[in-house]
Amino acid sequence: MYTRRGDLGETDTGRGGRLGKDSLIVEMEGTNDELNSFIGLARAMMSWEDMGEDLARIQRDIFTMGEHIIKAGTGRSLTEEHTKWLEERVDYYRKEVGPVHLFVIQGGSQEAAYLHVARTVCRRYERMVVSGKEIMEISPHVLSYANRLSSVLFMMALASNKRKSIKEEIWDIRPPSKGK
């Protein structure tokens, strides 16, 4: 499918206007799409029903975030309940994982590796939303959701490795002692 309308570097928005493809709003939408694609990839790798169902719900929520941005708050939006659900999911996976060490070296199972990639794209999206707040009104629920989403993706990655009996590799933040 093609329309040729974007051949000169502009694209249609959900609010009826056109923007340069290099605008922050279009960058946010592109990153939203990238995040959803990586979550779809992680979901395709999942053999666990709980994670697959959670990722499917998250994908729909990501579309809602994108609609909120591209329609400047006039479409559907996330609510506090969306963020609370993510917090419940973080708690659910954290119970399974046990104590969490910061500075986990990303990787392990394929499932965990894909979830870590999605998490880093989510962090970029979150930074873009913070920047976007300077040029447009964005619901605080979008920012809180993106923040919690990166946490749930992290916990799911750790749970994936645990379910596959893969020990997490931890980066030691202490500087090496002299002579070693």
pLDDT band at 8 (very low <50, low <70, confident <90, very high): low
Residue 180 reports pLDDT greater than 70 = no
pLDDT at 118: 98
The alpha-helical segments, DSSP class H, found in 98-178 are 110-132, 140-163
75-78 CB contacts, 8 Å cutoff, 24+ apart:
75/14, 77/139, 77/141, 77/142, 78/139, 78/141, 78/142, 78/145
Domain hosting 93: range is 19-163
- Which pTM value belongs to this model? 0.88
CATH of the domain at 47: 1.20.1200.10
Question: For the segment 17-42, what is each residue's pLDDT rounded down to a tens digit?
Answer: 777 767 788 888 989 999 999 999 99
Question: For the segment 128-139, what is each residue's pLDDT rounded down to a tens digit?
Answer: 999 999 988 899
Which residues have a Cβ under 8 Å from the Cβ of 177 and sit 6 or more positions away? Answer: none
Residue 56 located in a structural domain: yes
DSSP code for 170: B
- What is the average pLDDT across 115-141? 94
Residue 175 located in a structural domain: no
pLDDT band at 179 (very low <50, low <70, confident <90, very high): low
Residue 5 located in a structural domain: no
Residue 87 located in a structural domain: yes
